[in-house]
Amino acid sequence: METVRGKVALITGGARGIGLEFAQVLLKNGLKGVAIVDVNEEAGNRAIDKINKEYSLEKAIFLFADVSDFEQLKETFKKTMDKFKQLDIVINNAAVIDEENWKNAISINCTGVVNGTLLALNDYLPKFKSGDEGIIINMSSIGALEQNAGLPILPIYCSTKSFVLWYSRKISLAESNANKKIRVLTICPGLTNTALLNNEDSLKEMATLIGMQDLAQ
């Protein structure tokens, strides 16, 4: 993990779950600082308190933003630069499972990733990365890879994650980005017990479909 030493990261959906785990692992391996972006202010402040106790008061900041709102998200990039004077890694992790309010799911899971990727790729990482290379990580899902990935009851969610996967692949190959020295990576985790599955009914339904032993912590 020497590649993260002295770097600065911005993580959307970073207040809990996989996003917070990213922050902690990166800090443990020498990250200079992290901006945690989330709509949940209470969880965000708890995350910062946890990081401050374990690391340093200067290592992390919490920034409120709805990732589907370009201007709100852009402001978090600006504030990250104000605090740390550099930006090297952007992790677009914010997501929701909302099959009923599908427009909300598409706005956050798809538009949010596009907003974060374009801000990182066009405006911030090329100018403000501290080394030769910047990194964008977009969080997809195993549900984007396989038809029978254990998520048959979540067609909207899985479809949005398919979008993330293919958008990330295509933009990483775009000729206009060839000389920016920015890597665009996609991670497709399996079903994980995070705030996305935040009620007992959801967990029971998933357990019935795939077996609780397959639900990662």
pLDDT tens figures, 49-83: 999 999 877 899 999 999 999 999 999 999 999 99
Known catalytic membership, residue 157: yes
The backbone region for 179, taken as left when phi is positive above 0, alpha when psi lies in -120 to 50, beta otherwise, is alpha
pLDDT the model gives residue 210: 39
Domains defined for the chain, CATH in brackets:
2-214 (3.40.50.720)
Cβ atoms of 164 and 186 closer than 8 Å = yes
pLDDT the model gives residue 192: 57
pLDDT the model gives residue 178: 87
pLDDT the model gives residue 150: 53
- What is the rounded distance in angstroms from the CA atom of residue 14 to the CA atom of residue 134? 19
Pick the catalytic residue from 55, 124, 157, 167. 157
Q: Which residue has the higher pLDDT, 5 or 146?
A: 5
Q: Tokens 């990261």 belong to which residue?
A: 9
pLDDT digits (tens, 9 = 90+) for 157-196: 999 999 999 999 999 999 889 899 999 999 999 765 555 5
Distance of CA 162 to the CA centre of its chain: 15
- What is the rounded distance in angstroms from the CA atom of residue 45 to the CA atom of residue 43? 5
